[in-house]
Amino acid sequence: MRSTFIRTFFLTAVVVLVALLVVGAVFQFVVRDLFTRQVQKELIDNCNTVAGLASAHYGQGSLPTREFFVDLSIATQVSGADAVICDSRGNLLLCSDSPMGCEHQGMVLSESYLKQVFQKGIVLDNGLVEGLYTESRYVVGMPIINAINNRPVGVVILSTPVTRTMEILDSLADTYMLVTLLVAVIAVIAITLLARRQSAPLKDMAKAAHAFGHGQLDARVSVAENAPLEVQELALAFNNMASSLQKSEYQRQEFVANVSHELKTPMTTISGYVDGMLDGTIPKEMHPQYMELVSGETKRLSRLVRSMLDISRMQDQESIPPERMSRFPVDECVGQVLITFEQKITEKNLEVTVDFPEHTVYTRADSDAITQVVYNLVDNAVKFCPVGGNLTLRIKDGGDKVYVTVGNDGQTIPPEELPLVFDRFHKLDKSRAENRDGWGLGLYIVKTLICRHGEDISVTSQNDKTEFTFTLPFVN
């Protein structure tokens, strides 16, 4: 299994190598073509000069002449090319290699080549020159025109060996290979440093993920400021994910601990009473009394389980499904909930203050969920309101919102406790001692249901009066 470093290194190295080879091949082709054209251009210019000299000397008599030998020798030495003069039949008359006689003497050009020269006026070729040279050459053939009658009287052939150009190309190739090797070494070093630099943050993330997976929930990734943007974004996403998972794990642990704590007391009570009745410790005449206690604890457990199921169901949904949303009067919903607490309110002799608008206030929401919200808030208010205290229910519409407030007299909640009242299983120490019916889940359910509607809920507590206010959309 290859690492990112190895993959990046080999991929970049192959790309660089292929790029250098392609550039080298194109460079060789372009340079060869450029040299060929340059050599042919020079040969054409020199051939024009030699043909002009030969034509001038033909006008004075015939070739070869001593003066022409001198002129030809100078021209070929200056140009660096080999020149051959043939008559109109292709017989070799003069060669610049040795004007007084050379190995080419007696050689004859082919009729087809003569015909091309006379017809085209100039013939460019490269390769072997049959009858003259045995090595590959760049060759230019041009007719010698008699200036008097304007008729071809011979042929000038200028040529230069291809090996000269090849030597230059080989020299350039050697230089290119040396430069390529140097570039490749520099590229390998740069690629290595770059690949290590890019793979280092990924290795750190892998280590952090491994540590996180083995229980180190505080494992995080730190990335340098000059790291690539993508790496920084990946590190930020990883750290956010780790923080979220860490928070979820702490909440899970706290949830399990709280559930275990809350279940322990009623289960111990039930077990103790039942065992006492079974082993005779509790007399039979007292069984009905203790059975009522067992029944009460069982109902408390049932309410806890029901609340847990409600929480689990709500956590599966990020928002209220549209099909459960309906238009209904808020004041009527609050009024119906208040009626269900009539007996408890009477038992505690509470004074109820209701402040509703004169007109009906409508909202669009899940009526069952809002009923549960109001029920939990009123239940909390009645529970913590002292005997003879005041219970307040207020509805106010303003702008596009409906504000529903449930308040009660009673002990002021400490400021440091206010941000925690909506947490799961959070209960004030006083409430734990005085109210065994509370699980600390009611307000958490209220907060969750309101947030599922996309609305807000807040709490204030001062001067022995506590108020919970939540919002709903106003659709009148």
**What confidence category does residue 433 fall into, taking pLDDT thresholds of 50, 70 and 90?**
very low
pLDDT value, residue 81? 78
**What confidence category does residue 460 fall into, taking pLDDT thresholds of 50, 70 and 90?**
very high
- Give the CA distances from residue 418 to residues 178, 400, 424, 427, 458, in Å, rounded to whole numbers and listed in that order: 77, 27, 13, 11, 9
CA-based angle 151:76:111, to the nearest 5? 40
Token pair 């008559």 is found at 87
Model pTM? 0.46
**What confidence category does residue 436 fall into, taking pLDDT thresholds of 50, 70 and 90?**
very low
pLDDT value, residue 356? 93
Asked which of 198-202, 267-271, 414-418 is least confident by mean pLDDT, the reply is 198-202
pLDDT value, residue 459? 92
Section 70-82 average pLDDT: 70
**What confidence category does residue 71 fall into, taking pLDDT thresholds of 50, 70 and 90?**
low
Residue 405: is its pLDDT beyond 90?
yes
Residues 7-60 have pLDDT tens digits of 666 777 788 778 878 887 788 788 778 877 888 888 888 888 888 877 777 755
pLDDT value, residue 262? 61
Which two structure tokens, joined as six digits, stand for 151?
A: 């008729």
Which two structure tokens, joined as six digits, stand for 117?
A: 């020269």
Residue 287: is its pLDDT beyond 50?
yes
Say what percent of the chain tops pLDDT 70: 80
pLDDT value, residue 64? 56
- Give the CA distances from residue 342 to residues 28, 114, 220, 348, in Å, rounded to whole numbers and listed in that order: 101, 129, 55, 10
Q: Which residues pair with 394 in a beta bridge?
A: 355, 405
pLDDT value, residue 375? 87
Asked if residue 43 lies in contact with residue 129, where contact means CB atoms within 8 angstroms, the answer is no
Asked which of 75-84, 100-109, 337-346, 413-422 is least confident by mean pLDDT, the reply is 100-109
Q: What is the 3-state secondary structure (H, E, C) of the chain?
A: CCCHHHHHHHHHHHHHHHHHHHHHHHHHHHHHHHHHHHHHHHHHHHHHHHHHHHHHHHHHCCCCCHHHHHHHHHHHHHHCCEEEEEECCCEEEEECCCCCCCCCCCCECCHHHHHHHHHHCCEEEEECCCCCCCCCEEEEEEEEECCCCCCEEEEEEEEEEHHHHHHHHHHHHHHHHHHHHHHHHHHHHHHHHHHHHHHHHHHHHHHHHHHHHCCCCCCCCCCCCCCCHHHHHHHHHHHHHHHHHHHHHHHHHHHHHHHHHHHHHHHHHHHHHHHHHHCCCCCHHHHHHHHHHHHHHHHHHHHHHHHHHHHHHHHCCCCCCHHHCEEEEHHHHHHHHHHHCHHHHHHCCCEEEEECCCCCCEEEECHHHHHHHHHHHHHHHHHHCCCCCEEEEEEEEECCEEEEEEEEECCCCCCCCHHHCCCCCCCCHHHHHHCCCCCCCHHHHHHHHHHHCCCCEEEEEECCEEEEEEEEEECC
**What confidence category does residue 203 fall into, taking pLDDT thresholds of 50, 70 and 90?**
confident
**What confidence category does residue 5 fall into, taking pLDDT thresholds of 50, 70 and 90?**
low
Q: Return mean pLDDT, the chain.
A: 79
**What confidence category does residue 350 fall into, taking pLDDT thresholds of 50, 70 and 90?**
very high
Residue 468: is its pLDDT beyond 90?
yes
- Top mean pLDDT of 155-164, 189-198, 286-295, 448-457 is at 448-457
Residue 434: is its pLDDT beyond 60?
no
Say what percent of the chain tops pLDDT 90: 15
* Angle of the 162-213 helix axis to the 229-278 helix axis, nearest 10: 20
pLDDT value, residue 120? 86
Residues 222-267 have pLDDT tens digits of 777 777 677 778 788 888 888 888 877 776 776 677 667 667 767 8
Section 160-183 average pLDDT: 78
Asked if residue 470 lies in contact with residue 404, where contact means CB atoms within 8 angstroms, the answer is yes
Token pair 């009242």 is found at 421
**What confidence category does residue 340 fall into, taking pLDDT thresholds of 50, 70 and 90?**
confident
pLDDT value, residue 194? 75
**What confidence category does residue 312 fall into, taking pLDDT thresholds of 50, 70 and 90?**
low
Domains and CATH numbers, the chain: 4-167 (3.30.450.20), 246-315 (1.10.287.130), 322-473 (3.30.565.10)
Q: Is 426 exposed, middle or buried (0-12, 13-18, 19+ CB in 10 A)?
A: middle
Between 390 and 6, the more confident residue is 390
Between 457 and 90, the more confident residue is 457
